[in-house]
Amino acid sequence: MAQPQKQQQRWNNANPTAGWRKPILLVAALFACALLLPAGSAAQEHALQDLSNQEFLSFVRTLRNPQAQLLTGQSVPLPQGEKCGLGVSIEAARRMPTMEPDMAAELHSLLSPQARQVSILSPSGKFRIHFDTTGYHEPALLDQQLNRILNTAWAYADSVAKVFDEVYRIEVEEFGFDPPPFRTGEAEYQITILEFLGHYYGQTLFNVPLPNSGTVRSCYATHMEIDNDFLRYETKGMDGLRVTAAHEYHHMVQLGTYGLWDTDRWVHEMTSTYFEQAVYPFIEDYLQYLPTFMLKTDLPMYAWSPDGYELVLWPLFLEKKYDVSIMREIWEGMRRHEPVTAMRDAIRDHQPGGDIEADFCSWTAHNYFTGYRAGRKDPNIYDDAGRFPSIKPTAVELVAEAATLTGTLLPLSSTYVRVFRGLDSLTFVISNSDIPSAISRSGAGVSYELTVRSQGYDGSYMTLSNGWAYKFTASAPNALCVSLLEGGSAAVVERDAPFPNPFYPRENARMQFPIPRNVSANRADLFLYTVSMNKVFGREGMSIELDDITGAHVAWDGRGDNGDFLSTGIYFYHLKYGGETITGKIAVVAR
Specify the pLDDT at position 151. 97
Q: Is a pLDDT exceeding 90 seen at residue 209? A: no
Q: What is the mean pLDDT of residues 138-144?
A: 97
179: CB partners within 8 A, 6+ apart: 168, 172, 253, 256, 257
- Residue 236, Cβ density class (10 Å: 0-12 exposed, 13-18 middle, ≥19 buried): middle
Specify the pLDDT at position 370. 96
Confirm if 138 and 287 have CB atoms less than 8 A apart: no
**What whole-number distance in Å separates Cα of residue 197 and Cα of residue 311?**
27
Do the strands 413-421 and 394-397 form a parallel or antiparallel pair, or are they unpaired? parallel
| 79-127 pLDDT per residue, tens | 433 323 445 666 777 788 889 999 999 988 887 888 999 999 999 999 9
Q: How confident is the model at residue 68 (pLDDT cuts 50, 70, 90)?
A: low
Q: Is a pLDDT exceeding 90 seen at residue 77? A: no
Specify the pLDDT at position 70. 53
Q: Is a pLDDT exceeding 70 seen at residue 434? A: yes
**What whole-number distance in Å separates Cα of residue 302 and Cα of residue 467?**
40
Do the strands 462-463 and 545-547 form a parallel or antiparallel pair, or are they unpaired? unpaired
- Residue 101, Cβ density class (10 Å: 0-12 exposed, 13-18 middle, ≥19 buried): exposed
The CATH superfamily holding the domain 511-588 is Immunoglobulins (2.60.40.10)
- The most confident of 44-48, 59-63, 133-137, 350-354, by mean pLDDT: 133-137
Residue 290: helix, strand or coil by DSSP? helix
Specify the pLDDT at position 442. 84
| 302-324 pLDDT per residue, tens | 999 878 999 999 999 999 999 99
Q: How confident is the model at residue 14 (pLDDT cuts 50, 70, 90)?
A: very low
Lowest mean pLDDT among 269-273, 359-363, 396-400: 396-400
Q: Which of 508, 491, 484 is nearest to 434 (CA)?
A: 508
DSSP state of 570: E
- The one-letter amino acid at 279: V
What's the Cα-to-Cα distance from 249 to each of 38, 83, 175, 540, rounded to whole Å?
Answer: 30, 22, 13, 46
Specify the pLDDT at position 197. 79
**What whole-number distance in Å separates Cα of residue 424 and Cα of residue 420?**
6
Residue 422: CA atoms inside 13 Å, Cβ hemisphere, count? 4
Specify the pLDDT at position 28. 35
C-alpha angle with apex 89: 256 to 117, nearest 5 degrees?
80
**What whole-number distance in Å separates Cα of residue 433 and Cα of residue 414?**
9
- Residue 320, Cβ density class (10 Å: 0-12 exposed, 13-18 middle, ≥19 buried): middle
118: CB partners within 8 A, 6+ apart: 130, 131, 132, 133
Q: Is a pLDDT exceeding 90 seen at residue 216? A: yes
What's the Cα-to-Cα distance from 48 to each of 40, 51, 57, 98, 107, rounded to whole Å?
Answer: 21, 6, 11, 16, 15
DSSP assignments along 294-320, one per residue: HH-TTS-GGG-TT--GGGGHHHHHHHH
Domain positions in the chain = 31-110, 115-260, 382-486, 511-588
**What is the chain's mean pLDDT, rounded?**
84
27: CB partners within 8 A, 6+ apart: 86, 204, 251, 254, 255, 260, 265, 268, 269, 272
Specify the pLDDT at position 66. 59
Q: Is a pLDDT exceeding 80 seen at residue 518? A: no
Specify the pLDDT at position 8. 36
